[in-house]
């Protein structure tokens, strides 16, 4: 089997990825790797050339200067048609069985080709309008363009893969998609693990965690959006309730003054470098819980990374997160407006019965082993591709 992988950027060049998109680009890179591990040949069609037209420039100036609204060129049908033209020019030189798009719909929305097209996404952009800050002030034209291009892409594709039930259900509702071509596959962990990591290794990790202090780890670049303030409040209240706790903050450097003794601010870690990846692994593996009380998210990959080390997750029951985190199986989800005390009570209930905590930690690793790893993802996707071609 051979796949043409269409992206506007270079999937294989980590250094070219913008810092605000490294998480998404990393997931797309792992998709490519896992398909190659399933003996699928990959032809990389990115990067594509980004051509600017006078019309998109004029539209940007018109909306940004006159109405103080955001206009996004990547959603404009003119740009999407140009991407499709570039992909169509490359395809005849290849012997692809399938055309795959994981970055978004822009490379395939107007693509005419003989191969079946597969979309593999976290979610469709239409679901994020008004949800993420960057899509909260878009102009009507961009909103319409997003709908038009996504509808065009869906009409052309034969298979849609989403990472959560929430994303799949929303796509079906918004675009009246035939449910038979929609499938859900949670992604794996965007961190290199030692091959053949065994339950015994993780069990030893869990047993090495101290019983007299609860180590929490928060991982997110967007402090406010990811609920970093809640993580701090939970750690503070745990200590006030007599449960010794500390919080390690990865991904950002929030302005906390003064920094309490129970907080360790690490900042951003570049996982594309061996030393960064090693440091990330160690910080996560040492923690009792990953705490991510996120206010706006789809399917945060750090939750899966935590489970890979037998670390249960404390997070919010929003968007696609309930597909990843199951209550008392690999962590706990809380309402968006849950009181700080609810988080604390759950943590104390686990730490005060340490055998109970260890059982939860191993159950978290089992979830990673059984459904939240790239090997399972690759095998599941390959079978869907085989069925599609059949």
Domains and CATH numbers, the chain: 2-188+374-389 (3.40.50.2000), 199-370 (3.40.50.2000)
Give the model's pLDDT for residue 265: 98
* Bigger pLDDT: 389 vs 26: 389
Q: What is the pLDDT of residues 360-387, one digit of tens each?
A: 999 999 999 999 999 999 999 999 999 9
pLDDT band (50, 70, 90) for residue 21: low
Q: What number is the average pLDDT over the span 293-308?
A: 96
Give the model's pLDDT for residue 22: 61
Q: What is the pLDDT of residues 219-240, one digit of tens each?
A: 999 999 999 999 999 999 999 9
| pLDDT higher than threshold 60 for residue 20 | no
Q: What number is the average pLDDT over the span 274-286?
A: 94
Q: What is the pLDDT of residues 29-82, one digit of tens each?
A: 999 999 999 999 999 999 999 888 888 999 999 999 999 999 999 999 999 999
| pLDDT higher than threshold 90 for residue 23 | no
Share of the chain above pLDDT 90, in %: 88
Give the model's pLDDT for residue 18: 61
Give the model's pLDDT for residue 190: 86
Q: What number is the average pLDDT over the span 345-350?
A: 98
Q: What is the pLDDT of residues 145-197, one digit of tens each?
A: 999 999 999 999 999 999 999 999 999 999 999 999 999 999 999 887 665 56
| pLDDT higher than threshold 70 for residue 90 | yes
| pLDDT higher than threshold 80 for residue 19 | no
Tell me the pLDDT of the chain averaged across its residues.
94
HEC string of the chain?
Answer: CEEEEECCCCCCCHHHCCHHHHHHHHHHHHHHHHHHHCCCEEEECCCCCCCCCHHHHHHHHHHHHHCCCECCHHHCHHHHHHHHHHHHHHHHHCCCCEEEECCCCCCCCCCCCCCCEEEEECCCHHHHCCCCHHHCCECHHHHHHHHHHHHHHHHHEEEEEECCHHHHHHHHHHHCCCHHHEEECCCCCCCCCCCCCCHHHHHHHHHHCCCCCEEEEEECCCCCCCCHHHHHHHHHHHHHCCCCEEEEEECCCCCCCCCCCCEEEEECCCCCCHHHHHHHHHHHHHCCEEEECCCCCCCCHHHHHHHCCCCCEEEECCCCHHHHCCCCCCEEEECCCCCHHHHHHHHHHHHCCHHHHHHHHHHHHHHHHHCCCHHHHHHHHHHHHHHHHC
Share of the chain above pLDDT 70, in %: 97
| pLDDT higher than threshold 60 for residue 130 | yes
Global model pTM greater than 0.75: yes
Give the model's pLDDT for residue 333: 98
Give the model's pLDDT for residue 301: 95
């Amino acid at each position: 089997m051979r796949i043409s992988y269409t992206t506007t950027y270079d999937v294989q060049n980590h250094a070219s990825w913008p810092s605000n998109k490294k998480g998404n680009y990393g997931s797309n890179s792992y998709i490519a790797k896992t398909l190659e591990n399933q003996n699928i040949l990959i032809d990389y069609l990115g990067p594509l050339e980004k051509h600017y037209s006078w019309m998109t420039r004029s539209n940007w100036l018109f909306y940004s200067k006159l109405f103080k609204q955001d206009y996004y060129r990547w959603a404009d049908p003119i740009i999407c048609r140009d991407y499709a033209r570039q992909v169509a020019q490359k395809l005849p030189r290849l012997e692809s069985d399938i055309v795959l798009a994981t970055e978004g719909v822009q490379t395939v929305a107007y693509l005419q080709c003989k191969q079946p097209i597969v979309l593999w996404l976290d979610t469709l952009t239409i679901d994020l309008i008004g949800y993420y800050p960057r899509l909260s002030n878009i102009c009507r034209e961009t909103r319409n363009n997003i709908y038009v291009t996504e509808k065009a892409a869906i009409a052309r594709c034969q298979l849609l893969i989403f990472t959560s039930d929430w994303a799949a259900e929303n796509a079906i509702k918004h675009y009246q998609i035939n449910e038979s071509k929609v499938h859900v596959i949670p992604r794996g962990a965007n961190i290199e693990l030692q091959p053949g990591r065994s339950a015994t290794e993780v069990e030893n990790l869990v047993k090495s965690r101290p019983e007299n202090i609860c180590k929490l780890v928060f991982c997110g670049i967007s402090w406010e959006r990811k609920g970093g303030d809640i993580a701090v409040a939970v750690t503070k209240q745990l200590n006030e309730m007599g449960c010794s706790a500390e919080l390690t903050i990865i991904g950002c450097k929030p302005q906390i003054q003064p920094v309490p003794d129970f907080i360790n601010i690490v900042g951003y870690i570049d996982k594309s470098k061996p030393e960064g990846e090693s440091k990330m692994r160690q910080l996560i593996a040492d923690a009792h819980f990953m705490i991510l009380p996120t206010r706006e998210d789809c399917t945060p990959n750090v939750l899966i990374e935590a489970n890979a080390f037998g670390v249960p997750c404390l997070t919010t029951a929003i968007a696609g997160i309930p597909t990843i985190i199951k209550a008392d199986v690999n962590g706990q989800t809380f309402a968006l407006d849950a009181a700080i005390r609810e988080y604390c009570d759950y943590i104390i209930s686990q730490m005060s019965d340490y055998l109970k905590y260890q059982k939860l930690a191993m159950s978290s690793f089992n979830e990673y082993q059984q459904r939240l790893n790239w090997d399972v993802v690759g095998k599941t996707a390959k079978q869907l591709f085989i069925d599609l071609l059949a």
